[in-house]
Structure 1
Amino acid sequence: MDLRTKTTVADDLRISVLSSGSTGNVCYVESPNERIMIDAGLSGKKIEKLMGDIDRKMADVNALLVTHEHSDHRQAVGILARRYEQLNVYANEGTWDAMSSKIGKVDLAQKHLFAPDTVQTFGDIDVESFSVSHDAAEPQFYAIHYHGKTFVILTDTGYVSEHVEGIISDADAYLLECNHDVEMLRMGEYSWPLKQRILGDKGHLSNEEGADTLMDVLGNRTKKIYLGHRSLHNNMQSLCHLTVASMMENRDFGVGHDFQLIDTNPEEATPLVAL
């Protein structure tokens, strides 16, 4: 089933990267009828504040989709579920098993399964899950489809397979991982086992690997690329942006003309924009 063939309507899919980085990750998407959050990797208070910064309220969010159990993606899952009874939480079986003891009690009526490599419909939004390679129990990320528009969220993966590239190709917008600069990581203070973990097939994409992935998947529809999950210790915003932009410009991609490269921050929400 091609989820991108529906006729475009006047009302848009709107997105904001509320937080992205090694210390916390939260995304927000909305259609005229649905409000969805992806991950809750900050405190509940901080997430509520960031929602207010884009003039939105947690009380209006219908669903929270969790990618995996690491704390920078699930920190406030239980807090928000207990605070907002209307909030339904979705994760695959492996993620639920891995995070249940860490998030506290969640009402059974709010807990839902979202299996890898499946599609679930939330009102007028279709969400497609896909498995990734990361050192978590059962990590998966999401492509959000709404009337011919697609927003792909893909961080926390050691590499991007051809299968995943096929799923995410030619999206209107991407939040894609550019976690570290390889030389900064190698010369930094992390232990060698941790460096190996980050550099491995179940770790994180470097700036260069993120750029390579983008050049493989972006298409004529692509207008916005958010550079995400940047390490506070092994990367810099300016270096990340320059590396990706330079690599793409050297391959004649129209950076700043055909599409925007947008920096993200773990402390500041990007503006809520329409695709």
Structure 2
Amino acid sequence: MGDNVEVIILASGSKGNALSITNEGKHILIDVGISFLILSNKLNEQGINVDDIDTLLLTHEHHDHTKGLKTLLKKNNNIKVYLTLGTYQGLSDDVKETLINYEIINSEESFKLENNLLVTPFLVSHDANEPVGFIIENDLKKVVLATDTGYIDEAYFGILKNADLYILEANHSTELLMKSSRPFHLKRRIVSEKGHLSNQEAAWLVNNFISERNQVIWAVAHISEDCNTVLEIEKTIVKVFDDPTKLIIKYTSQQTLEKIKLWLKLLRLVK
């Protein structure tokens, strides 16, 4: 990655997910689970035109990750889309018709983008066809994205360790979820291996991943609006982490936009 890598989390949660990564003048979008209008407005506020997006990575086919896909591709047919075969098969026929420039990707098979970013997909565990997370890196910086997963296979721990930025979900407090008015079948889905990470599970993972680092950023993603709170997440971090001072924490949401800049020699947050 270049000297200045910008990650903008445009939306995160069950109502829609999207984020952009800018490096060497190239703009990457990961998921487009918000409407084209909202996407365009949020990007414009950051000085990015939708027409400047040249790459789209899709994690999976669920509506909260693909809602704006059809319109986006109609407005900008120069975007190259990377997705798994399962994700492609899970898309509706009318959305598939808009996919002109796309490439089927496979878990653990890395590919390089025009801005010299190396992307490595890895399988996550969710009730979708073939969902993946992404490692995005070069010799200087490393970003890990993993949302919508009930667990992460230990076989991936080696390649997920020691990133500069983790965009990892801490979806729910198990206690709050079980006390909520949600139907039992939904609770069971959420806590299953194909559901979502709890605060405890997410904190344990990040603590494991950063053991050799002095400081990292954790952008806490996909936070439940009614079964989780910032306080619950912070209480869990204090209990689970060997050294919580290693963390710079950013809390994402459906509405709030978070901008994170990764510099060559230091980490710096930009509000």
**Normalising to structure 1: TM-score of the pair?**
0.89
Change (3 A) 1:44 1:18: same
How far apart are residue 30 of structure 1 and its match? 1.4
Q: What is the rounded CA distance, in whole Å, between the counterparts of 1:97 and 1:243 in structure 2?
A: 41
8 Å CA contact 1:208–1:243 kept in 2: the answer is no
Q: What is the rounded CA distance, in whole Å, between the counterparts of 2:148 and 2:95 in structure 1?
A: 20
| Residues 86-108 of structure 1: CA deviation (Å, up to 9, x unaligned) | 21111110100001336363142
- With 58-67 and 216-225 compared, the bigger mean Cα shift is at 216-225
Residue type matched to 1:237 in 2? V
8 Å CA contact 1:19–1:266 kept in 2: the answer is yes
8 Å CA contact 1:29–1:37 kept in 2: the answer is yes
8 Å CA contact 2:16–2:34 kept in 1: the answer is yes
Tell me whether 1:226 sits opposite 2:219 in the alignment: yes
Q: Number of matched residues?
A: 261
Q: Which residue of 2 aligns with 1:239?
A: 232
| Residues 12-49 of structure 1: CA deviation (Å, up to 9, x unaligned) | 32211111112111111111142111111111111111
Change (3 A) 1:221 1:112: farther
Secondary structure of residue in 2 paired with 1:89: strand
Change (3 A) 1:252 1:47: same
Residue type matched to 1:238 in 2? L
| Residues 144-202 of structure 1: CA deviation (Å, up to 9, x unaligned) | 11332001101111111211222211001000110011111111121111111100111
Q: Show the 5 A alignment for 1:124-203.
A: 124-203=116-195
Q: What is the rounded CA distance, in whole Å, between the counterparts of 1:176 and 1:102 in structure 2?
A: 31
Q: What is the rounded CA distance, in whole Å, between the counterparts of 2:156 and 2:83 in structure 1?
A: 19
Which of residues 257, 261, 268 is equivalent to 1:273? 261
Q: What is the rounded CA distance, in whole Å, between the counterparts of 2:52 and 2:174 in structure 1?
A: 41
Q: Show the 5 A alignment for 1:242-261.
A: 242-248=234-240, 251-255=241-245, 258-261=246-249
Q: What is the aligned-residue RMSD (CA, Å)?
A: 1.8
8 Å CA contact 1:67–1:139 kept in 2: the answer is yes
Q: Which 5+ residue runs of structure 2 have no aligned equivalent?
A: 264-271
Change (3 A) 1:221 1:196: same
Q: Percent identity over the alignment?
A: 28
Which of residues 56, 60, 68 is equivalent to 1:68? 60
Which of residues 103, 114, 121 is equivalent to 1:112? 103
8 Å CA contact 1:133–1:201 kept in 2: the answer is yes
Q: What is the rounded CA distance, in whole Å, between the counterparts of 1:146 and 1:27 in structure 2?
A: 19
Richer in strand (by share): 2
Residue type matched to 1:120 in 2? F
Tell me whether 1:100 sits opposite 2:100 in the alignment: no
Residue type matched to 1:87 in 2? I
8 Å CA contact 2:170–2:197 kept in 1: the answer is yes
**Normalising to structure 2: TM-score of the pair?**
0.90
8 Å CA contact 2:6–2:259 kept in 1: the answer is no
Change (3 A) 1:163 1:94: same
Q: Which residue of 1 aligns with 2:266?
A: none
8 Å CA contact 1:34–1:122 kept in 2: the answer is no
Q: Show the 5 A alignment for 1:49-68.
A: 49-68=41-60
8 Å CA contact 1:90–1:112 kept in 2: the answer is yes
